[in-house]
Structure 1
Amino acid sequence: MRDLISVLRTFGGAAPRHTLYAHGFTQRQLQQQVMHGSLLRIGRQWLALPTVDPSVVTALRAGGILGGGSALRSYGIWVTEQTRIVDVATVPHSSKKKFNGIRRVWHEHAADADPWRVTVADALWQYLQRAGRLDAIATLDSALYRGQLDLDGLAALRDRAPERCRPWFDLVDPRAESGTESIVRVSGLDHGWTVEPQVPFEGGRLDTVFEGWLCVECDSREHHSGLEQYDRDHRRNQNVLRAGGRWHRVTHFDVMHDLERTMQLISQILSQGHPTRLRFG
């Protein structure tokens, strides 16, 4: 049944029965694969590969599809909140049967779904209903950076967004390569400093540059982990010092769990002053 597995993979690992019937598979064939353990049956309508993301299974069993932050994670978009709770998108008048470990978000565009998750635009709209300012900006930055949202889509989303969120869109910047960079950048702007993300420097780039001379590198769990990367970062930071600048590294923990202290330290470094601005490019 390689063809069936291939078809399911094109749908991200899960699809409703009627979709598989449309691809030529019979009810008997599907039942046999369920009995053999090659397919996972979810309710009456859905079939999935055993390797599908558990959050997808949770959403489908709850009578909906992935929405909000859970859908955004499935697209590879940064979501600050790390939780086992699954955002389940359901139409407003659907069953409200309680399931542990889920959070329902309402979805009125089911025809646009893909097929077990809402679109990026709808997931962002759902996320903005409850997200805080820094988290929302980091997520929007990530969606733009990853090409999951374009500027027209951003403008349309702004029109749909809650009133409280609309001023945040002025601070969105697609150059940030991680959520921690976005949070540090916006926090710096809130302090009244000039902050530029992803500044070219000696053939590479610096994560964020404060006031034209303090280079703040934002480590994340995905990057800066290998020895080769560490050596490159070390050489670049030495070159920043040789050019007359200063650099400071903040970790994922610093940003996500101790942001106030992190910004206080950056403020202390900046208060010491610097005689000249660096030349980038």
Structure 2
Amino acid sequence: MLRPEELVRWLGGVARTSRLIDRGIRRRAIGDAVVSGALLRVRKGWVAVPEADADLMAAARTGVVLTCVTQARRIGLWVLGDDAPHLAAPAHAGHVAVAGAVLHWARPLVPRHPDSLTDEIENVLAIVAACQPYEIALAIWESALRQRLVDSRALARLGFGPEARRIREEADPFADSGLETLVVPRLRWMRLPLRRQIWIAGRPVDLLIGDRLVLQIDGGHHVGAQREADIAHDAELALLGYHVVRVGYAAVVDDWPAVQARLMRAVAQGLHLAP
């Protein structure tokens, strides 16, 4: 028989005492574990191991579920900014107040188990679509598709709202990064072919605009050997008649008008056209 703290750890670090009792742990054993410090009493009916995730303990303490960009970031999706905790309150909950948090009250697409402290990915995406700016929400959706955390065919059978339906139709599962996702919608007004991850000279390019204008977007991993390989590839592209514009994270996120102006001037000079 597992000790109470071992079972709580196996259940994710935070658990209802009723779940422990259902699995054969006696109330007295739970109380003894709390007295000894092996378990912490988070709130009435909830316990946690001392090293438990602070966000999960906070969710249990306030009776909410981690969702939207908070849960998206926790599961490794590409999220830009917005450090405020985003929480889902159960429909039957009374007054819920969490300082500095964004509370979401929408009915979930996938029912939430009463013991859940984190939202299902489908609910996360639905709330993200309604909460975040379009391009940020699109980047999060594409990140989920790229990592195969969701299936586009399954998503098509869910009753999403209008914002999520638009994103579902436009999301590209082959987008390589969130930065790419931000760029493409910002350039559609130019009415030029925009092709992502096209292989040229033995490697994919982030974005091919028209026939010959290449936009390469450097994330934080473009250093050392990766950077040397990028420089060599840029040279190969130039020898093949392509014009390369290379930008970094800060340029896309914080100085997009300058990036756009550079690309507009390249198009004005016909650098996107095949000879």
TM-score, normalization by structure 2: 0.85
Structure 1 residues 148, 98: closer, same or farther in 2, change over 3 A? Answer: same
Question: Could you tell me which residue of structure 2 aligns to residue 255 of structure 1?
Answer: 252
Partner of 1:193: 192
Q: Secondary structure at the match of 2:156?
A: helix
Shift of 1:52: 3.8
Structure showing greater radius of gyration is 2
Residues 80-229 of structure 1: pairs in structure 2 closer than 5 A = 80-83=80-83, 85-106=84-105, 108-109=107-108, 111-113=111-113, 115-157=116-158, 159-161=159-161, 163-221=162-220, 223-224=221-222, 226-229=223-226
Distance in 2, Cα, partners of 1:181 & 1:54: 32
- Describe the shift of the 1:229–1:170 C-alpha distance in structure 2 as closer, same or farther (beyond 3 A): same
Matched residue type, 2:207: T
After superposition, the Cα gap between the structure-2 partners of 1:37 and 1:243, relative to the gap in structure 1 and judged at 3 Å, is farther
Alpha-carbon distance, 1:5 to partner: 6.4
Extract unaligned runs of 5+ from structure 2.
none
The alpha-carbon deviation at position 164 of structure 1 amounts to: 4.6
CA 1:4 to 1:133, structure 2 compared with 1: closer, same or farther past 3 Å?
Answer: same
Unaligned runs of 5+ in 1: none
Describe the shift of the 1:262–1:154 C-alpha distance in structure 2 as closer, same or farther (beyond 3 A): farther
Separation of aligned partners in 1, 2:166 and 2:107: 25
- Pairs aligned (count): 273
Larger mean Cα displacement after TM superposition, 189-198 or 1-10: 1-10
RMSD over aligned Cα atoms: 2.8
| Displacement after TM superposition at 1:143 (Å) | 1.1
Structure 1 pair 165/115, CA: closer, same or farther in 2 (3 Å)?
Answer: closer
Q: What amino acid maps onto 1:136 in structure 2? A: A
Question: If the length of structure 1 is used for normalisation, what is the TM-score?
Answer: 0.84
Question: What is the rounded CA distance, in whole Å, between the counterparts of 2:194 and 2:140 in structure 1?
Answer: 19
CA deviations over 1:43-76 (Å, ceiling 9, x no partner):
1233334444433233222211111111211221
CA contact (8 A) 1:217 1:249 kept: yes
Distance 1:39 1:178, change over 3 A: farther
State percent identity of aligned pairs: 23
